[in-house]
Structure 1
């Protein structure tokens, strides 16, 4: 996908934003905090933390939300975020379902509060094995998996590597803004520049910390996105280390998870995508829904790739509907 490559390479352009750093940062923080009465500030929703140790020793940060006392009929919902993000991706879903369902939130390896990774241990197979370990340690009974972008790919890789989980422990799946393959055309440019980007990582991180709003507005959200949603995405993506761009990028040019979709057909599946998603366009979600027998397709008009922050209500409703169906 040339668009994804272009978006990744654009990260270096943020270095020149230093002159406007103070004003930009103030504007971003102000926008983020202009919540309606009763809203919870972005990044402040936390719960009991745990550490799961991956097969290669990488520590994975996991947080568990327990349901209200006596409400333990439903499955555990495990949320898996995407590339360059963290568990704050699910800010609104966490609030909407808090007290109503048991939830587990993962910071994928290299992201958020989880341990750092390298190019050698940043494959989808690593992510799938991490997910299997989190399910084993914190799943507690039946599990519904909710994955966005690379998180959805990790779920599909899990179906390829551990098909016995689906229809047994895993009883439902929600795939948000993701793809099983045919994402990119052309040569993997970012792979060839990987060494340069890694070496310049600290400088690029510095530049991105000042202002990544223009990139976020262009690639992450729809054209009419609320500035607050832009600010939330900006804050989350800006704190991800630049090296993650090249460490995880090799997963995408050769992505082919179509065989795993037959395993997903063993459980109820909802596929959701914004109609203005430029990174994993809606045609990929349509392809998934067609390939997974019985899957439900939900398209959110005007939403971009970060639909769960931009238009949270349809995402909340999709997850809630599937979980209620399984109670």
Structure 2
């Protein structure tokens, strides 16, 4: 999301400056300087402090995360991991190749999980484990991220993602599914409701929007007036440079990851409960995903809005928010809950944008209860009636 993009940019520059300083000190130490002694002999002298300072800065540049992560996060009791199971590739009508995994009983009611931007399907480690005991959990990677491949740069936008989600939802067959989306995942669900209302009416038993927004996220983040003012002179040019200079941007991202500055940037998406594995997992995914794809997705979010879309659906909605979310402020979730007919808002305490990780038991309990209510209810889906006019 844009706030973390700004933080990573600033801290990456600092990390590169530290590396440059180390390089200069090594060069100046090796070059040394010449003096003439009392006998007229030329002496080549080197200052040891330059060498040792350079070694310290280089160590920080490539090993800093080993020190930074324990300082920023608490020890784990249940570590999260970027683990995969057997998956398959699905051809989307957009032309993108979507990586999909399925977990849990094959005949159970389906739940589709859509992750946030910069991540991939492995980020659902806790929720997937909680749901798959009784549900068929379908997890996918957004195009351009993880193991999914976008058909082109133009396929990295919310309208295309909604078509991709429609293709993933088709795997549920004739069983209505609950759609769960975090951050941009929630935005994609809203786009699906806007662009494909018949699909939602016929195939969706409920929606869960997790720490998300209804409009350009620059408008619903902390310091939003400043963020919007910086969009054209700073954010847009930097993101376009990341597309054009992707190899250099990727090298910078990995150096930032190794130094720990990327961990520091991603730490702002958590509140006080974050553990080391959660911070490491999030930072690793944000680093190994292509900078060009990340930039295109952020640019697409700047041009997106779905104000009032939830008014057009009868699907029951659970809106989950973190009271400490600075990436998409809690007020955005309140607006969503007011727009959704019968929408249920739950605000999780001491949870930031990545609250579904740091407060996993609380988020998982809410989502599991919602699925139990709407996927195991004897009331037929079509009984939840209010006519929806297809677009």
Indicate whether the TM-score tops 0.5: yes
Partner of 1:226: 275
Tell me the SS of whatever aligns to 2:179: strand
Q: Which of 261, 264, 270 is matched with 2:310 structurally?
A: 261
Residues 266-295 of structure 1, C-alpha deviation per residue, up to 9 Å, x if partnerless?
Answer: 111110111111111111011101111111
Q: Closer, same or farther in 2 for the Cα pair 1:127/1:163, shift >3 Å?
A: same
Query: In structure 2, how many angstroms separate the alpha carbons of the residues matched to 1:276 and 1:290?
Result: 20
Q: Which of 153, 164, 171 is matched with 1:137 structurally?
A: 171
Q: Which of 349, 359, 363 is matched with 1:315 structurally?
A: 363
After TM superposition, the score normalised by the length of structure 2 is: 0.74
Query: In structure 2, how many angstroms separate the alpha carbons of the residues matched to 1:30 and 1:2?
Result: 26
Please tell me whether the aligned partners of residues 4 and 265 of structure 2 are also in contact (alpha carbons under 8 angstroms). Answer: no
Residue 252 (structure 1) shift? 2.4
Partner of 2:113: 79
Partner of 1:115: 149
Unaligned runs of 5+ in 1: none
Tell me the SS of whatever aligns to 1:103: strand
| Matches for 1:279-294 after TM superposition, within 5 Å | 279-294=327-342
Partner of 2:287: 238
Query: In structure 2, how many angstroms separate the alpha carbons of the residues matched to 1:52 and 1:193?
Result: 33
Question: Are positions 1:195 and 2:240 aligned together?
Answer: yes
Residue 172 (structure 1) shift? 0.5
Tell me the SS of whatever aligns to 1:257: coil
Partner of 1:6: 6
Q: Closer, same or farther in 2 for the Cα pair 1:29/1:10, shift >3 Å?
A: closer
Moved more, 104-113 or 163-172: 163-172
Residue 258 (structure 1) shift? 1.8
The structure with the larger Rg is 2
Computed over aligned residues only, the root mean square deviation of the Cα atoms, in angstroms, reads: 2.7
Query: In structure 2, how many angstroms separate the alpha carbons of the residues matched to 1:225 and 1:314?
Result: 14
Tell me the SS of whatever aligns to 1:267: coil
Tell me the SS of whatever aligns to 1:85: coil
Residue 198 (structure 1) shift? 1.9
Partner of 2:372: 324
Query: In structure 2, how many angstroms separate the alpha carbons of the residues matched to 1:196 and 1:25?
Result: 26
Partner of 1:43: 82
Query: In structure 1, how many angstroms separate the alpha carbons of the residues matched to 2:99 and 2:17?
Result: 33
Residue 161 (structure 1) shift? 0.9
Moved more, 302-311 or 112-121: 112-121
Q: Closer, same or farther in 2 for the Cα pair 1:115/1:2, shift >3 Å?
A: closer
Tell me the SS of whatever aligns to 1:193: helix
**Bigger proportion of residues as helix:** 2
Partner of 2:347: 299
Tell me the SS of whatever aligns to 2:235: helix
Residue 173 (structure 1) shift? 0.5
Tell me the SS of whatever aligns to 2:82: coil
How many residues matched?
318
Please tell me whether the aligned partners of residues 88 and 236 of structure 1 are also in contact (alpha carbons under 8 angstroms). Answer: no
Question: Are positions 1:52 and 2:90 aligned together?
Answer: yes
Unaligned runs of 5+ in 2: 20-57, 219-227, 377-391
